[in-house]
Chain A
Amino acid sequence: MDLLSLSAVELGKAIREGSTTAVEATEAVLARIEAVEDRFHCYVTVDRAGALDKARIVQRKIEEGQLNGPLAGVPMAVKDNLCTAGMRTTCGSRMLDAFVPGYTAEAVENLERAGAVLIGKTNMDEFAMGSTTETSFYGPTLNPCSPGHVPGGSSGGSAAAVAAGECFFALGSDTGGSIRQPASHCGVVGLKPTFGTVSRYGLVAYGSSLEQAGPLGRTVEDCAAVLEAMSGGETGQRRKDSTLVSREDMDFTSALRPEVKNLRIGIPRDYFGEGLDRRVKEAVLGAAEVFRKNGALVEEFDLGFTEYAVPAYYVIASAEASSNLGRFDGVKYGFRAEQARDLQQMYRQTRSRGFGTEVKRRILLGSFVLSAGYYDACYLKALRARAMIKTAFDRAFERYDCILGPVAPTAAPRVGEGLSDPVRMYLGDIYTVSANLAGLPGICVPCGTDGCGLPVGLQLVAACFQEKKLLRSAYAYECLKGAGKCPEEKNP
């Protein structure tokens, strides 16, 4: 059996049925990493020995009947901004190069409790700031579908690891599109949950009010199963994230039925104007056609306020980042510049050398918009824009179950292309940031290629807490269309 051709859920089933084991699956993934990691550089850290040890323990528990969930024994990769006790957590930054946390992110803990086997930590844009995974202190990750291109970002390592078969599923984090956009560029499925669904405890904060950890996988079903396992807090335990919402409807896999009849889908005209690549537009509208042909009600509408999304997002995310990243001051942990004469110099040198350019740019931007005299003009205005955007979506969801659109204006850019012009890079987030500003769940499903062999993803967004609707729509599309696999995987 070619284990690597299975989805996470299929592998879990095979392990439960005894046709393979957690150890065999882990060995297969480690062998794959051995074979291709040099080419793609998906990981910052791979814990071979630890993964095999865990796989053995999990396998025993499966055999003893203590573990029987869909993900028991399935190898996973975790983005390097989710804390893992005893395993270094770098956030792709020199600042945390040697940082080994003593605690595990609650979402990761939930998955480990369900028997998922942690293989290692994936590469990312430094502190999740970037759209290409090129701002990492550890060098860029390359797109497994076409190594001359970036995998997208910031969860580029996670998306690439899934695409390259270096894990069965991965966790990413999405502050402004950081799960959906790399999923689109690498031809995998990526889901950003409703704000408050997944505990942020242990997710190193960038834009606190915007971000959620979420799954990247080969299929919609995998993502549903992973989200189901990672959501919420541990029952009976002290709450660790105040913004976590108590939800009863987190049996996401139960929603997976290939039905689109009477599904109401809205296509925002605002998303199909200037700046959108023609091939991407064709692929996305082609997907809309699949829905229409199978009985969904598909219509165009005007969403509104689209032009405010990117500026509002960069003001709010940077403001929060400037505060969140203040703790990296060289006093308690992480990088510290030695030989400073006094405290002020120690702060200055530590932060000047510990952070990369993009991080510094956003800290400066964020400090500026929060400073006296600019707070009202920038930050408060951005909050108002955020409220308006949320209202626009609320209105849209009175008429539609899902909103369909592109994930990114183009397929994956070439390596080195994006970083030269930050504003252009920021504008590339236009279709994804609104879901973060409004707290909405969004999913990226592969829907074709750009004509040069690079994958293109389709984005579906639903109202808050409507993950089931979202997953059902995505699942139905996947079934009706046939899962879009990565070109590299088709011809190994």
Chain B
Amino acid sequence: MCEGNEGSKAAEKAVEGYEAVIGLEVHVELATRTKIFCGCSTAFGGRPNAHTCPVCTGMPGALPVLNRKVLEYAVAVGLAANCTITRFSRFDRKNYFYPDNPQSYQISQLYLPICRDGYIEIELERELPSGGESDSAEETFPAEKSWNSAQKRIRIHEIHMEEDAGKLTHDEQGGCTLVDYNRAGVPLIEIVTQPDMGSAREVVAFLEKLRLIIRYLGAGDCRLQEGSMRVDVNLSVRPRGAREMGTRTEMKNLGSFHGIEMAIESERNRQTAILESGGAVIQETRRWDEEKGISHPMRSKEEARDYRYFPEPDLVPVVIGEDYLERIRAAQPEMAWEKRQRFLEEYPIPEYDIRIITASRRMSDIFEAAVVLGSPPKKVSNWLMGETLRLLKEKGQDSEEIRFSPENLAKLIALVENRVISTTVAKEVFAVLFEEDMDPVEYVEKNELKTAGNQVILRRVAEEVIASNHKSAEDYRGGKDRALGYLVGQVMKALKGKADPVQVKEQLKELL
């Protein structure tokens, strides 16, 4: 899949002599219920043009009205990214003709963007985890237990608000192109960084941190595959240690973290090869082809459009007062890294677990609530780290979408702790809990899943098993410990797993 990554040894050596300078433009779809300038739903799917109105289809005379929630999210992200919030901000029109753009202009911010001059600290592991990567790299973390990390500050140039465009579908059979404006007017923020990154690893670390921030704020889900996070990579190379920047290119159409890494490597190699052979890099926009692992030029600087930006006369300036800012600031949640630090101090569970749990606001909340309800922290952590992550991955769900409540998880943990059900049964119950968030106590009762804690039943079954497995019983008595395991298995089988193996073992020993 990634043949573009291959290169001769000579080329690799050449790469060594150059360094990449990378800046990003990241579009993030905001999680508002309605669009940025009208009351239409932002819901995914729906019949083409079902979520449209005169405003988001650019009908004559229709006018935009700013969705306040969009501003709130943009300011919240800006504050979390240490930006200066622009007190007098404004929208501008970016004019261009294309059928996905119903008004023939996109309402965006050029002259006075809502946030400026921030930074995000990223953490870099000193050593790269070895081993291959999978396509689901987005959801997994390197299985490294020791976090020998360094911090790096990536500066944010600006964050601005804008609207998304519609979607074109080319109908091959009908020989025509159809437009769906359901996405037109969906709110976006664009985060523009300074060229502060030097490698794919730093880029991914930055994007992961940015995603973490935005998800914690509930401002967006940031899924690359679904397009709710879109990344354009600006990259140039220069001889290692040089001061001046090289000519950069902009890479578009990057659909996954893996694709971003590949595209960066590919572009860095391409530019290096050009410079090595004495050529000059052309300033242009390129399109990444993930299938083939190569990029193609889209348009050069000479072909760049003149967008004829000017202040949007249909929207009043956005004036932000101290009160407003204070209100947003006060509503900012505890961020992942703050939570991690606190968990390290408050809970006796491994740092590795804490990292994973605090990477999700929902998981952190469940963890703390369950602990408050009396569950042992390590037990809660085990359920989250084990079954929860497994089921999320299996079902392709996001940790922020976890449906079960901490109350019910705490009840389940109590059932196991009190030996009312076995861990085997608990896993089955959890699978249902994961889907339906039902009361585990009632569920266990109703479905008769209680461990045969009733000593009478256990004793009777154990006696029966010993009687019908005479040889194994004799073997055990004769000193073959392994035989006991077999008998335990038989008892468990007879009780359909509704027993605690430890108790079964004890009972058998006693009888034998």
Q: Which residues of B contact A209 (CB under 8 A)?
A: 313
Among B63, B308, B309, contact of A201 (Cβ-Cβ < 8 Å): B63
Contact A204 B60 (CB under 8 A): yes
Contact B58 A323 (CB under 8 A): no
Q: Which of under 10, 10 to 19, 20 to 34, or 35 or more describes the interface residues of B? A: 20 to 34
Contact B97 A371 (CB under 8 A): no
Q: Which residues of A contact B104 (CB under 8 A)?
A: 323, 326-327, 329
B308 nearest CB neighbor, chain A only: A370
Given contact pairs A96-B60, A326-B95, A372-B306, A242 touches B103 in the complex (Cβ within 8 A): no
- Which residues of A44-99 are within 8 A (CB) of B? 81-83, 89, 91, 96, 99
B193 to chain A, nearest CB (A): 25
Q: Which residues of A contact B66 (CB under 8 A)?
A: 242
Count A-B contacts at CB 8 Å: 102
Given contact pairs A204-B60, A323-B93, A371-B308, A243 touches B103 in the complex (Cβ within 8 A): no
Contact A327 B64 (CB under 8 A): no
Contact A101 B60 (CB under 8 A): yes
A121 to chain B, nearest CB (A): 13
Distance between Cα atoms of A82 and B60 in the complex (Å): 9
Given contact pairs A242-B66, A323-B310, A203 touches B61 in the complex (Cβ within 8 A): yes
**Binary flags per residue of B289-332, CB closer than 8 Å to A gives 1, else 0:** 00000000000000000101110011110000000000000000
Q: Which residues of A contact B306 (CB under 8 A)?
A: 371-372
Q: Which residues of B contact A205 (CB under 8 A)?
A: 60-61, 314
Among B39, B58, B65, B315, contact of A332 (Cβ-Cβ < 8 Å): B58
Among A83, A320, A329, A372, contact of B61 (Cβ-Cβ < 8 Å): A83
* Any B CB within 8 A of the CB of A301: no
Distance between Cα atoms of A130 and B177 in the complex (Å): 37
Q: Which residues of A contact B308 (CB under 8 A)?
A: 322-323, 367, 370-371, 375
* Any B CB within 8 A of the CB of A41: no
* Any A CB within 8 A of the CB of B457: no
Q: Which residues of B contact A332 (CB under 8 A)?
A: 57-59, 102, 179
Given contact pairs A242-B65, A323-B104, A347-B97, A89 touches B310 in the complex (Cβ within 8 A): no
Contact A327 B103 (CB under 8 A): yes
Distance between Cα atoms of A350 and B98 in the complex (Å): 14
* Any B CB within 8 A of the CB of A102: yes
A156 to chain B, nearest CB (A): 20
* Any B CB within 8 A of the CB of A331: yes
* Any B CB within 8 A of the CB of A343: yes
Selecting from A30-38, A220-228, A233-241, the interface stretch reads A233-241
Contact A208 B314 (CB under 8 A): yes
A373 nearest CB neighbor, chain B only: B306
Distance between Cα atoms of A242 and B62 in the complex (Å): 11
Distance between Cα atoms of A375 and B92 in the complex (Å): 14
B91 nearest CB neighbor, chain A only: A242
Contact B313 A91 (CB under 8 A): no
Contact A242 B315 (CB under 8 A): yes
Given contact pairs A203-B61, A209-B313, A370-B310, A323 touches B95 in the complex (Cβ within 8 A): yes
Contact B316 A243 (CB under 8 A): yes
Q: Which residues of A contact B129 (CB under 8 A)?
A: none
A439 to chain B, nearest CB (A): 12
Q: Which residues of B contact A201 (CB under 8 A)?
A: 61-63
* Any B CB within 8 A of the CB of A43: no
* Any A CB within 8 A of the CB of B376: no
Among A103, A238, A329, A347, contact of B54 (Cβ-Cβ < 8 Å): A103
Distance between Cα atoms of A204 and B309 in the complex (Å): 21
Contact A202 B61 (CB under 8 A): yes
Contact A327 B95 (CB under 8 A): no
Distance between Cα atoms of A30 and B97 in the complex (Å): 43
Given contact pairs A242-B316, A243-B316, A326-B104, A99 touches B60 in the complex (Cβ within 8 A): yes
* Any A CB within 8 A of the CB of B99: yes
Q: Top 8 closest A-B pairs, CB basis?
A: A326-B104, A209-B313, A370-B308, A208-B313, A202-B61, A204-B60, A327-B58, A204-B61
With A329-B97, A370-B95 known, 18 other A-B pairs at CB within 8 A are: A101-B59, A102-B54, A200-B61, A201-B63, A202-B61, A238-B39, A238-B65, A241-B63, A242-B63, A242-B315, A243-B313, A243-B315, A322-B308, A323-B310, A327-B58, A327-B102, A331-B102, A333-B59
Could you name 25 residue pairs across A and B whose Cβ atoms are closer than 8 Å?
A: A82-B61, A83-B60, A91-B60, A200-B63, A205-B60, A238-B39, A240-B65, A241-B63, A242-B66, A242-B314, A243-B313, A320-B310, A326-B95, A326-B105, A328-B60, A329-B99, A329-B104, A331-B102, A332-B57, A332-B58, A332-B59, A332-B102, A367-B308, A370-B95, A370-B308
Chain A residues in contact with chain B, CB under 8 A? 81-83, 89, 91, 96, 99, 101-103, 105, 200-205, 208-209, 238-243, 319-320, 322-323, 326-329, 331-333, 343, 347, 367, 370-372, 375, 379
